[in-house]
Amino acid sequence: MAKNLVIVESPAKAKTIEKILGSDFEVKSCFGHIRDLEKDDMGIDIQNNFKPKYAVPEDKEKIVKELKKLAKDTDEVWLATDEDREGEAISWHLCEVLGLDPHTTKRIVFHEITKPAIERAVQQPRLLDMNLVNAQQARRILDRIVGFELSPVLWRKMSMRNSLSAGRVQSVAVRLIVEREREINAFNAVSSFRVEAFFTAKDPQGKSMSFKAEGPGRFKTAEDAEKFLTQCIGAAYTVKDIQVKPGKKSPAAPFTTSTLQQEASRKLGYSVSKTMLLAQKLYESGKITYMRTDSVNLSDTALTDIKQAIDKNWGEKYHQHRKFKNKNESAQEAHEAIRPTYMENSSVDDSDTKRLYDLIWKRTIASQMADAELEKTIAKIDISTNHEELTASGEVLKFDGFLKVYMESRDDEDLTDEEEQEGVLPPLQVKQVVDLKEMKATERFTRPAPRYTEASLVKKLEELGIGRPSTYAPTITTIQKRTYVEKRDKEGVKREFRILVLKADKINKLTDAENTGAEKSKLFPSDLGMIVTDFLNQYFDSVMDYGFTAKIEEEFDEIAHGKKVWNKMLNEFYQPFHQDVANTLEKAERVKGERFLGDDPETGKPVVARMGRYGPMIQIGKAEDEEKPRFAKLKATQSIETISMADAMELFRLPRALGMFEDQEVTVNIGRFGPYAQHDKKFYSLKKEMDPYTVELDEIAPLIVEKRTAKDERTIKIFEKEKIQILKGPYGPYIKQGLKNYKIPKERIDHAADITVEEAKAIIEDVKANPPKKKAPARKKKTE
């Protein structure tokens, strides 16, 4: 038994630190928080100054028991949880649960897992900071109050039966997506004409080179653009002025959780949860530092390591020492930036993981490399027939610096037409005459802000100070699980644009077409998301305010600095908030999100789009009418807010009868699980590309045949009389009787085809006698 017990949060960290500290220290992990508020009565005694009621969750009982035993048998316990609000609270909970005295127990912290940092920490222990702990308790209690008082309001006031939820973070995340969608829907594209002139000029060797120049501003109408081109007929073009300016580019800071998620999304197309899963693997195998961090800091040992790698690979002049500062004020910086643990270490097996590792490696290296040096050339070209001038600009890379390894990519929202890639200009001289090949005036349209991707939403949330590195990915999952938001693609629509071409002193008018509005893997709000957001905005504007989190974070900081009392702060928040909850419960109407579309031309009955119990739908006629109303479900891509009368009526064309196949009728419809065909009492899901409104019989027939053969292939053996089947599933062979499935014992799995009826029966009886353990949700208590 070691003399000292050190407790950290992460088990991977525990292993590394144990090696550094040696045999006098045993290092254990508590796996994050070990206590949480009870679920009953919110776990808060509001009348009694918001006194929290904590409990050890079921899935933490085992580790708590183990820590208790170790703490008892050791001379001294050291609390080494992360140095932030949550970490301080975890240490305090450890004191409470392990029976340690918070006034004497040693508390140590380090921001990096390096030998000097840890040895230094052990020499300078401090005590628990109860102010910081209280700031965390205030944070936790406020979130519980908001979540557990708002969610039930939704259950009462929304007409849909989902398990709805609301919270300080998720509801604002949904709001961002809803508002962006409406901005896009309300957007009117305005067009203007941009002039580009294509020239040739001779270089000193007499070789002809072509280059491009931009026109003077933009023309609002085709007439203005044509007028300008007409003026240019027969003109001579002379270089009037050349300016050469040096420029530079600097590398981006090393990765934090949020920037890693953004770059992995843009460069590798990973979802935020995929990025975090792969990063976790890299962390656990010791390849990278901790992946949930908001710090851009690199440890001194890392800096030395990185410098060595740069010097070795590219030479000293590529190295530049840099210290990055966090832009984000809410950052708590308990860890380092995300970086490789050793720059030398680069063998990663799995290809997806390797691509992420390479990204981290390059970003880390680049962050300590020299600026890239550029030379920007701007040439003004005079037009002899009018007073206008054209501008040609070019860029030459003089020294590549960090660009040798890494260039940060951008969200398309940051890109404007002006920032398109600069080309290289031929070596021009003032007074040189250049030859115009052609001049084009192209119609261009303004674009609305793009929809959020998972990663750009994380970026926005971080800017607003909402959420933490450990919650970005789960938050994105939650709002999709609640069906407030859906990630999907959107097909673009064709749009024509005009081009005026001046060539050989003649003007030609052309039209071309482009695809516009196409989106890939973007977040779209559902009708439910919109309705819930509108409701919350109407009754709980303070919590829904984008500045709400920032405002209460300031107060948490004041608590942490001992300038404010935590339960007083909570009371100031709670009184008006709870009043809003009570008022809303009493006064607000049940929300249906109804929108009137028009009258049905056939019957004259009103047609409305609204939210039903099972989702958005169209209703013709009223419930109180003698004839029952007709209903149709909206397609996944349609929404109550934007659907047209014509599209709504179109939905009533289902179910469709397609004709007979093998003497049985084939019909198509859309069900709970999407479009399907029905034939001989059996169901067949339509393929993704099949549209139930237009699909033909000869497309369905192969589907029916295909399913039959697939079933044959899945079947290993059938015992007709006993209704027992031996089937091949995704996890290997299994036995099916009636509708129930039974697992085949390991030792028989390889010989599944040889199983006899008796054997199969025995296996079924056996499984029935010893039912496999169900993986019960960890938080639920067993009632048996």
Partner DNA sequence: CAGTGAGCGAGCTTCCGCTTGACTT
Site for DNA in 238-277 (CB under 7 A): none
Q: CB–CB of 92/107 below 8 Å?
A: no
- Smallest distance, DNA to C-beta of residue 651, A: 10
CB atoms closer than 10 angstroms to residue 317 = 12
Q: Which is nearer to DNA, 317 or 740 (by Cβ)?
A: 740
Q: Does 292 bind DNA (CB under 7 A)?
A: yes
Determine which residue in the list 773, 781, 782, 784 makes contact with DNA, applying CB under 7 A: 773
C-alpha torsion 685→687→692→694, nearest 10:
-150
CB atoms closer than 10 angstroms to residue 190 = 9
Site for DNA in 555-574 (CB under 7 A): none
Site for DNA in 686-745 (CB under 7 A): 729-732, 734, 739-743
Which window, 9-17, 194-202, 210-218, 493-501, contacts DNA (CB under 7 A)? 9-17
Which window, 308-316, 345-353, 505-513, 772-780, contacts DNA (CB under 7 A)? 772-780
List Cα–Cα distances, 73 to 26, 90, 139, 664, in angstroms: 11, 21, 34, 77
Which window, 25-33, 112-120, 191-199, 569-577, contacts DNA (CB under 7 A)? 25-33
String of contacts with DNA for each residue 121-140, x by CB under 7 A: ------------------xx
- Smallest distance, DNA to C-beta of residue 519, A: 26
Coil vs helix vs strand at 311: helix
Coil vs helix vs strand at 470: coil
Give the separation between CA 775 and CA 118, rounded to whole angstroms: 39
Determine which residue in the list 414, 673, 689, 712 makes contact with DNA, applying CB under 7 A: 673
Q: Locate tokens 């100070």: which residue?
A: 465
Q: Which is nearer to DNA, 13 or 460 (by Cβ)?
A: 13
Q: Does 468 bind DNA (CB under 7 A)?
A: yes
Q: Does 596 bind DNA (CB under 7 A)?
A: no
Q: Which amino acid is at 500?
A: L
Q: Locate tokens 């198509």: which residue?
A: 668
Determine which residue in the list 45, 503, 683, 751 makes contact with DNA, applying CB under 7 A: 683
- Smallest distance, DNA to C-beta of residue 493, A: 29
Determine which residue in the list 32, 102, 450, 606 makes contact with DNA, applying CB under 7 A: 32
Which window, 34-42, 352-360, 499-507, 539-547, contacts DNA (CB under 7 A)? 34-42
Q: Does 671 bind DNA (CB under 7 A)?
A: yes
Q: Which is nearer to DNA, 225 or 356 (by Cβ)?
A: 356
Q: Does 669 bind DNA (CB under 7 A)?
A: yes
Q: Which of 363, 349, 337 is nearest to 278 (CA)?
A: 349
- Smallest distance, DNA to C-beta of residue 421, A: 39
Q: Does 280 bind DNA (CB under 7 A)?
A: yes
Determine which residue in the list 612, 641, 645, 717 makes contact with DNA, applying CB under 7 A: 612
Q: Does 10 bind DNA (CB under 7 A)?
A: yes
Which window, 357-365, 490-498, 572-580, 608-616, contacts DNA (CB under 7 A)? 608-616
C-alpha torsion 277→278→279→280, nearest 10:
50
Q: Does 672 bind DNA (CB under 7 A)?
A: yes
- Smallest distance, DNA to C-beta of residue 478, A: 5
Give the separation between CA 340 and CA 343, rounded to whole angstroms: 6
C-alpha torsion 569→572→573→579, nearest 10:
160
- Smallest distance, DNA to C-beta of residue 780, A: 7
Give the separation between CA 529 and CA 174, rounded to whole angstroms: 7
Q: Does 216 bind DNA (CB under 7 A)?
A: no
Give the separation between CA 169 and CA 55, rounded to whole angstroms: 24
Q: Does 635 bind DNA (CB under 7 A)?
A: no
Q: Which two tokens stand for residue 211?
A: 């280059």
What is the number of residues in the chain?
784
Q: CB–CB of 462/258 below 8 Å?
A: yes
CB atoms closer than 10 angstroms to residue 708 = 11
Q: Does 152 bind DNA (CB under 7 A)?
A: yes
- Smallest distance, DNA to C-beta of residue 302, A: 19
Q: Does 18 bind DNA (CB under 7 A)?
A: no
The two counts, helices (H) then strands (E), for the chain are 20, 30
In 31-103, at which residue ranges do the beta strands (DSSP E only) sit?
36-37, 44-45, 51-52, 54-55, 76-79
Site for DNA in 307-336 (CB under 7 A): 332
290 catalytic? Reply is yes
String of contacts with DNA for each residue 478-517, x by CB under 7 A: x---x-----------------------------------
Q: Which strand (E) or helix (H) includes residue 460?
A: helix 454-463
Q: CB–CB of 757/722 below 8 Å?
A: yes
Q: Which two tokens stand for residue 674?
A: 């999407």
Q: Which is nearer to DNA, 192 or 293 (by Cβ)?
A: 293
Which of these is catalytic: 237, 270, 283, 290?
Answer: 290
Q: Which of 521, 559, 14 is nearest to 264 (CA)?
A: 521
Site for DNA in 156-215 (CB under 7 A): 163-171
Q: CB–CB of 79/91 below 8 Å?
A: yes
Which window, 120-128, 148-156, 437-445, 519-527, contacts DNA (CB under 7 A)? 148-156
Q: Does 775 bind DNA (CB under 7 A)?
A: yes
Give the separation between CA 654 and CA 678, rounded to whole angstroms: 13
Determine which residue in the list 6, 26, 28, 33 makes contact with DNA, applying CB under 7 A: 33
Q: Which residues contact 755 (CB under 8 A, 6 or more apart)?
A: 717, 726, 735, 744, 748, 763
Catalytic residues: 290
